[in-house]
Amino acid sequence: MARKRHLSRIAVMQVLFERRQHKDMDLLEALAKNVSELGGVDEDFCTVLLEGVLALESELIAEIEKYAPEWEFEKMDPIARPVLLIGAFELLHADDAPPAVVMNEGIDIAKEYGTDETGKFVNGVLNAIAKQ
């Protein structure tokens, strides 16, 4: 289950990352492609994450910027942005994973696809959101 959720978060992160470069892409089609390529994901969880982030994106960005006051969302690391959106959504609007799990997942994905510095940044912001 944990591995499925990890891969699900990666699939959604990739869609959110890709849409910055391809504004007119079909997000659900891109998600289906990522799910197929990654394999072993929880498709329902992917859909909940993607639709939740998209529906609440403005609110999530405001929360992220509140806890990263030196940074405008658009100027953040391109990997950190989608990871933070997913993490903020899970921390603020989902209750199916403990905050520590959500934070660890975000940090791991940020380090895997970004840098150690991306992981540290994600850690700081998600930790602050979780403590609110």
The per-residue pLDDT for range 19-56, each reduced to its tens digit, is 988 888 999 999 999 999 998 899 999 999 999 999 99
pLDDT tens digits for range 71-95 = 999 999 999 999 999 999 999 999 8
Residue 1 has pLDDT above 70, yes or no: no
Closest among 60, 73, 52, 59 to 121, alpha carbons compared: 73
**The residue to which tokens 């994905």 are assigned:** 109
Residues 120-131: tens digit of each pLDDT:
999 999 999 999
Burial 79-110 (b: 16+ CB within 10 A, else e): bbbbbbbbbbbbbeeeeebeeeebbebbbbbb
| Sequence spans of domains, the chain | 2-131
pLDDT of residue 69 exceeding 90, the answer is: no
Compute CA distances 75 → 13, 22, 52, 80, whole Å: 17, 18, 23, 10
Question: Can you give the pTM of this predicted structure?
Answer: 0.95
> How much is the pLDDT for 132?
84
Q: CATH topology for 2-131?
A: N-utilizing Substance Protein B Homolog; Chain A (1.10.940)
Residue 121 is predicted with a pLDDT of 97
